[in-house]
Structure 1
Amino acid sequence: RSGLGEKKGLSTSEVADHLAIQRSNASKDLNQLVKEGRVEKSDSRPVRYWAAGVDAISSEKYVPSYKENRPQREKAFPQRVQGKPSDRDIFATIIGANGSMKNAVEQAKAAILYPPKGLNCLITGPTGSGKTYFAHAMFQFAKSNQVIAEDKELIVFNCADYANNPELLMSHLFGYVRGAFTGADQEKIGIIDQADESMLFLDEIHRLPPEGQEMIFYFMDHGTFSRLGETGKNHQANVRIVGATTEDPNSTLLDTFTRRIPINIQLPFFEKRPASEKVDLVRVLVGQEATRIQRTITLTEDVVKALIGSVSFGNIGQLKSNVQLVCARGFLNHMQQDEIEIDLLDLPEGIRSGLIVLGNRRNELAELSKILEPKISVQPNQNLNNIQSDSYELPYNLYDIIGDKAALLKADGLDQEAINHFISTDINVHLKSFYKDHGFSFNSVNKLSEFVDQKVISVTNQIYEMVRQRLNYDFQQNFIYAMSLHISSFLKKIHLG
């Protein structure tokens, strides 16, 4: 606390060393304090943090803040910054708002503005299609149109966490009274109370057990509920409910439940979007990384094509993961340069092969070639909007970790090649472990079958059983996913010659 109160502030490394914690944890906690407005940080590198309200001084190169850059941004992006319509319509900043997302946007606006209290709705779409991000956009739209008070928060609840325990589900949704169960030594409110006069986002709503769906639709009908351990519906709340699912709601939700959700907003697969939207998505996601490191990032045409071709099952979530990986490696390879220029050599093999995949989709490749220039440059602070976050937002600054670790390894006398090898491995571990926690682990054959032929999965299962029985060795379940992907990739390479 004393260090953050000094004018020069502290770096991530200094905080981590002082508290004897990992740098990644220090970065995560510092950035959370910045979000809460309790700490401020510099735009220059290395990033320094200081307590909010302290006039910090820095010996580093001065970089104007986002707010100070406003006149320049207004010249570059007049449609985004000037005039009231864009302030009231956050959806105008969503790529495809007048294209593949037009119907979804119109449905969302109708659900929010429908008098007197709006309509409950369901967002459906494949893994990584942006359902959580879209729910945040709906919430921001509701606030900017004075439908929800400015001081309210979006309450997020993941139904999968309580899928197999209806009693625990009820206690979290509606709260409980003292003595409701062993250990309930005081009354506790639930998330329905927290979402009163606001919006509740029920993620993975298909994981709600039938009892849970019945609890929710009774509340939808009457606006009243009881806490666990109570008799009678003694409490009231006014809550807008938005659910999200990757599954077909007609086969996973009760008819009595779906009838109470009049609007079903379907988000498109990434592959179904027009080429111009795919390029814009790459540009926006790279822009987020440029803002993090406060440097211009330049991509060659082939890099953009490889990124687009590398997306298979994961849609925008997978694209974001790949962009983060590519930008992190580009930053590592060009750390000493003012501009990060990324070409095919900076790409890992898995993403570079997206160029080959795209080569087999000739119509899409032709459309991309029409609109792409040899290079695209993305500057920091250009693609900012009021949508707070999405579920694929890293909770720490990956570039701080790269910079700190590179400096440590260099001080230990390692050459640049060895440094790059160590940190590249580290980047992969960071991103893969994070995305594994966000639905990108192959935890069901259904997800696997979206991008691997069912015959391959069947053969792999036979191999799994054969090896398990003959060697009496029980492989982890992810053997099926890893081996299926390996065989599928092998067959594709044979097919491509």
Structure 2
Amino acid sequence: MKTAKQLVYDFVQQNAYRNEKGIDTLAIANELGMLRTNASALLNELVKEGKLIKTSTRPVYYRVLDNIRDNEEMSFQTLIGYDGSLRKAIQLAKAAILYPNQSLNVLISCKVGCGTTSFAYAMYCFARENGVIKKEAPYVKINCRHFSKNISVLDNELFGIGHDLNKSCFMKAKGGVLFLDNVDLLDAKQQSQLYTFLETNIIYSEDGTKSKECKDIFVIISQSPQSNMQFERIIPVIIELPELKDRSIKERFGLINHFFSNEASHSMRSIEVTSETIRALLLSDFDYNVKELKFEIKAACANAYVRVVRDIHQNIQVVVNDFKNQVRKSLIKLKNNHIEIEALLDSRNVLIYDQNDGYQTIDTTKHGNDMYLEISKQYNELLELGINDHGISDVITTHIQNLFKKYNYLKSYDSSLNLKQLSKIVDSRVIEIVSHFFQTSKKELGKNYRTNVFYGLCLHINSIISLKESQQRITNDQVVQIIQDHPSEYAASVQLASIIKDEFDLDLPVHEVALIAMFLIETEDQTKNNPVLLYILHGETTASSLRDTTNSLTQCYNAYSYDLALNIDTHKAMEEIKDLIMKIDKGQGVIVIYDMGSIKTMLETIEEETNIKIRLINMPITLIGIDIARRCSMESDIDYIYHLTHLEMNKMRNYEEKLNQVIVTLCHTGEGGAIQLKRYIDQYSKLNMKTIPLAISAKDELIHEVSELRKTYDIHCFVGTYDPKIFGIPFIPISKIFENSQEEIDRILMFEPISSSTFNYEDVYQYLSEQFKYVSISKLKSILPGIIDELNTIYHFNEDQRVGLFMHMACLVERLLDGKQSVPNIEKQKILSVFHDEYQSLSKIFKPLEKAFHIIIDDNEMTTILMIIKRI
């Protein structure tokens, strides 16, 4: 009995004569009594097996492969317009390939997006099918546009790494086809080397000392019509591909059908497109021709896919509003082409592209299904964060409007950006990706971003990729707030994250994407009322060089400098620095990085005289250099100097001024509250820290007063009614002091957790009272929580560890009261030896428990407790 596939094949073979084009899916399904989808699936299997071929028309027609008739035509028949606008180009291509003795090299001249890649690949297939090259012959393609920012990498691709000619693209393509796309982007030296090869079939190394002959190679190159290069002098066959606007309405309709069919196949959903949408696309002009048409359709399908992402059985429905305004406006031109367009649409209101009838030709992108998976992934991630459907819709809708742009690098980068310096510390791929993202985001979001946002993004993305940190730097609440309040910026950041995943195989979590979005949220010029940076370093240009480098890399231009000459009078230097600080201060103060000497004293004096906030950061690089140079002149052992310097630097890092620690009590009005709080702390605290009361509500005045205190004291913390949030000094609210017992005050002041009042053990006690025979629960309540809290103060347990240890200790007491012996612990000697001091401490902590229940916790049990605490 014949299979369904054999029945389909036989039917096509027997009935194809009815129509020269072949038979469509619907006719086959009706004749054989099959579902249309099943017939379509079987027909596509037969095409893959090489038994049938299908047309690029709509509807699709199938017929049996006629080796005599089709062998020559099959490759070019995959191209829409093969019998129309591409007819002349195909004839030239065939003539070049089939030229006697050896194929003639070909120059393709066309504007961006006219289908160069598809045409070149079809030439390769035609050459294979006609035996001009072997079936396994290589096909090597290099798109020079991809290397426009890195000529050295392009050199390696073209002529071999380290001038190894065997690794050149010419040797890789030997016996096959070499396709060089956008050759008008080559520099003068690369052009010269390519000219030489095309004239002689010989490639030379850069220094001319090495050469290789490559006769057995068919070269296809492409350039724009405006190119000044003279390849036509040495390439005999020149092929011109038409722009989309020069193609017939029928061919444009074929391209539109082709791209929608591809999206149906990729999304695994049938796509329904309104006739109004088809009309608009047929009448639209696209600057980047066929490629832009493809991306517009991809973006619209993604936009429509979001609406049905939750219903896997629902078709994707594309309407004209899924496209940008330019496409919608094109409908005003309908009057001029009405008759021709309506003949194609045949009065259909909706065109359906079946997912099983989606046909594949040459797809130059490595994506496809990924786009729809990304949309689903984003939807699920946002849903898990608790964002409502409306918020998700805003984010995803904006995201998919931009998503297709990650497949398109046609736009040129902003040449005004000074990328040369940035490329020294940032991966060139990062700069290229962020450059494109930066430009498209400015247009999509309608915001005029400052240049330093671009530089900040480059530096931030580079650090993510280099460090690959997984630590979450913003909370989930902050993530939700960013997504809800700024869906457009977040969606743009999702687009960047997807590009990073493709390029670097790094999947950024939602919180990292939200962090990127923060770069896009702030758009106002914030150079006013911000602190500024000032370098003050010894030497003629030391500080100014660092200033220029900082401003160049950040593009913030908020760094300044003062080069402190070695022979300048100190008083004069201080006056000049004072004038500079008064000039550059924006009202929020100056952060000064300095190296050594009396600079600190000068700056402290200037701060007192001008009342400008000055914060000092000492980087003693000059002092370290002087010390190393002095040692080098005295010692001959480099390792001795190296290690001695490290010792000195470690001492410098670890050095802290031994100031007395103080606690500062605060209140907004009057000293009474601050003084009472001071007296309470002094009476009950045993830390022996001095307590100083301050009653200052004006922040500037408080900063000045605290700055004075810091010259004499090390401020341990603020305690009071408000947190001033200055100098990074920790704050303890007054409520925490009075809501806990007087005995807990030192734990609070030392930031130790107070847990027994917050954890409710009642459920645990209820369970234990039902299980235990010997332990008095009331006695356990009075003793064990205090012991657990004392251990928690030392080891900082989380809740699970705290409850787990509590249960272990309670069960241990029951077991010992039941007279059961401890199980020997084989790790006892090792554990007790390594943690001897902690063993001693635990023994003291457990004494009240042993005394209350008249038990002895032996070394085996102590070892087990230590292993629990240390998570061994």
TM-score (norm. length: structure 2): 0.39
Q: 1:355: Cα distance to partner?
A: 3.3
Letter in 1 for 2:373: D
Contact 1:135 / 1:201 at 8 angstroms: preserved in 2? yes
Letter in 2 for 1:239: I
Q: 1:81: Cα distance to partner?
A: 5.5
Partner of 1:422: 395
Letter in 2 for 1:92: Q
Distance 2:135 2:217 in 1: 15
Distance 2:247 2:320 in 1: 28
Contact 2:114 / 2:244 at 8 angstroms: preserved in 1? yes
Superposed CA deviations along residues 153-209 of structure 1, whole A, max 9, x for unmatched, are 3211233466698877555423266xx6xxxxx886211110111111111111223
Shift in CA distance, 191/272, structure 1 to aligned 2, threshold 3 Å = same
Partner of 1:128: 113
Q: 2:305 aligns with which of 327, 331, 346?
A: 331
Q: 1:306: Cα distance to partner?
A: 2.4
Q: Are residue 113 (structure 1) and residue 98 (structure 2) matched?
A: yes
Letter in 2 for 1:374: N
Instruction: Note the 1:247-396 alignment, pairs <5 A.
Output: 247-249=225-227, 252-254=228-230, 257-335=231-309, 336=311, 338-344=313-319, 347-348=322-323, 350-351=324-325, 353-360=326-333, 362-372=335-345, 373-385=348-360, 387-390=361-364, 394=367
Distance 1:204 1:229 in 2: 26
Q: 1:476: Cα distance to partner?
A: 10
Letter in 1 for 2:224: T
Q: 1:324: Cα distance to partner?
A: 0.4
Distance 1:63 1:420 in 2: 35
Shift in CA distance, 245/211, structure 1 to aligned 2, threshold 3 Å = same
Q: 1:403: Cα distance to partner?
A: 1.9
Instruction: Note the 1:49-88 alignment, pairs <5 A.
Output: 69-70=44-45, 77-79=60-62, 82-84=65-67, 85-86=69-70, 88=72
Shift in CA distance, 389/164, structure 1 to aligned 2, threshold 3 Å = closer
Letter in 1 for 2:248: P
Q: 1:327: Cα distance to partner?
A: 0.9
Distance 2:185 2:404 in 1: 26
Q: 1:342: Cα distance to partner?
A: 2.2
Distance 2:411 2:188 in 1: 26
Q: Are residue 245 (structure 1) and residue 228 (structure 2) matched?
A: no
Specify every segment of 5 or more residues in structure 1 that has no aligned partner in the other structure, as ranges: 1-61, 181-185, 445-472, 478-497
Q: 1:273: Cα distance to partner?
A: 1.2
Partner of 1:137: 122
Distance 1:170 1:210 in 2: 12
Aligned-partner SS, 1:360: helix
For CA contacts below 8 A with separation 6 or more, give which structure has more relative contact order. 1
Greater gyration radius? 2
Q: Are residue 433 (structure 1) and residue 416 (structure 2) matched?
A: no
Distance 2:80 2:286 in 1: 20
Q: 2:203 aligns with which of 210, 213, 225?
A: 225
Contact 2:110 / 2:224 at 8 angstroms: preserved in 1? yes
Q: 2:172 aligns with which of 188, 194, 199?
A: 194
Partner of 1:149: 134
Contact 1:166 / 1:212 at 8 angstroms: preserved in 2? no
Superposed CA deviations along residues 80-120 of structure 1, whole A, max 9, x for unmatched, are 66333445521112111111111111111112221222111
Contact 2:107 / 2:235 at 8 angstroms: preserved in 1? yes
Distance 1:211 1:306 in 2: 46
Shift in CA distance, 198/381, structure 1 to aligned 2, threshold 3 Å = farther
Aligned-partner SS, 1:397: helix
Distance 1:77 1:280 in 2: 11
Distance 1:410 1:168 in 2: 43
Distance 1:403 1:86 in 2: 42
Partner of 1:488: none
Shift in CA distance, 229/345, structure 1 to aligned 2, threshold 3 Å = closer
Contact 1:176 / 1:227 at 8 angstroms: preserved in 2? no
Structure 1 residues 168-177 or 223-232, which shifts more?
A: 168-177
Distance 2:340 2:396 in 1: 36
Letter in 2 for 1:199: V
Cα RMSD over matched residues?
A: 3.5
Q: Calculate percent identity across the aligned residue pairs.
A: 25
Distance 2:199 2:284 in 1: 45
Distance 2:300 2:149 in 1: 39
